[in-house]
């Protein structure tokens, strides 16, 4: 099986970014929100759904708000359309 190419131009820089403590914490919060919704039966593994944070901050060092009122389920395509354009 052929190795899947990364769409990133610099995998080493991406690995350093993902290893930063602030990014590790944000990823942990996203995963925690997903696990809570899986326990409630709102999402399932491989269903194409994502748990979305309604109030999202662009400050990459700020923690995410994981309160129930700030979370909802969206399809992957709808959640990606919602993201702001990158420069």
Model confidence band, residue 84 (pLDDT cutoffs 50, 70, 90): confident
pLDDT at residue 4 in the model: 65
SS3 letters across the chain:
CCCCCCCCCCHHHHHHHHCCHHHHHHHHHHHHHHHHHHHHCCCCCCCCEEEEECCCCCCCCCCCCCCHHHEEEEEHHHHHHHCCCCC
- Per residue in 1-51, pLDDT tens? 666 665 668 889 999 989 999 889 989 999 999 999 999 999 999 999 999
Q: Is 71 a member of any domain?
A: yes
**What integer is the mean pLDDT of 63-85?**
87
Q: Is 70 a member of any domain?
A: yes
pTM of the model: 0.75
Q: How many domains does the chain have?
A: 1
pLDDT at residue 6 in the model: 59
| Residue numbers of the domain that contains 28 | 15-82
Q: Is 2 a member of any domain?
A: no
């Amino acid at each position: 099986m052929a190795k899947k190419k990364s769409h990133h131009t610099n995998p080493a820089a991406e690995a350093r970014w993902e290893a930063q403590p602030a990014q590790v914490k944000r990823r942990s919060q996203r995963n925690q929100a997903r696990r809570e919704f899986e326990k409630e039966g709102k999402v399932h593994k491989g269903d194409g759904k994502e748990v979305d944070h309604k109030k999202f901050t662009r400050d990459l060092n700020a923690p995410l708000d994981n309160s129930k009122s700030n979370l909802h389920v969206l399809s992957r395509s709808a959640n990606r359309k919602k993201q702001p354009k990158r420069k």
